[in-house]
Amino acid sequence: MTDWTTSTAPDLAAIETLAREVIAGFPPELSGHAEMVVLRVEELASDEFLEELEIHDPLELTGLYDGIPMTEKSASEPQSFPDRVWLFRRAILDEWASRGDVTLGALVSNVVVHEFAHHFGWSDEDIATIDRWWE
């Protein structure tokens, strides 16, 4: 049994380690593309992201893909910034605690796969057709 009296919440580094394990498990046809994406783990989404997405509660945003999907990239118009996947620790931990029916690793895995799916060119609707996680 876990001794919760000495346990602390996973920090940014622990969430990043979980995320990198997921990325390392991507199939070869995707892993090379995933390596080009910068992974960032922060406490909460920035006010800029929240405003842009019209989200009022930062605990509602567990992850974000910030870039140009592979399906929309153009050699004639190179982008001036790297693609990024952002994970937001406090929102992930809040969802993990409120769900109570998934492991932290499973939740981080789902968020990572979802955000990288956007990098690969999938829309939220595309992802929802095969991933019923949020139901």
In the sheet that holds 63-66, the strands lie side by side as: 38-42, 84-88, 63-66
* Structure-model confidence comparison of residues 51 and 30, the more confident one: 51
Helix, strand or coil for residue 102? coil
Residue 22's pLDDT is what? 92
Under 8 Å CB-to-CB from 23, ≥6 apart: which residues? 31, 34, 39, 112, 116
CB contact at 8 A, 107 and 99: yes
Looking at every residue in the chain, the average pLDDT score rounds to 87
Nearest to 39 by CA among 14, 65, 62: 65
Mean pLDDT value across residues 33-54: 93
Task: Please state, as a whole number, how many other Cβ atoms lie within 10 Å of the Cβ of residue 45.
Answer: 25
Mean pLDDT across 75-102: 88
Nearest Cα to Cα of residue 67 among 80, 58, 50: 80
Which residue, among 7, 21, 6, has the nearest Cα to 87 in the 3D structure? 21
- The domains of the chain are located at 12-69+86-130
Residue 132, pLDDT score = 55
- Please tell me which residue, 92 or 29, carries the higher pLDDT value: 92
Proportion of the chain above pLDDT 90, given as a percent: 53
Assigned fold of 12-69+86-130:
Zincin-like (3.30.2010)
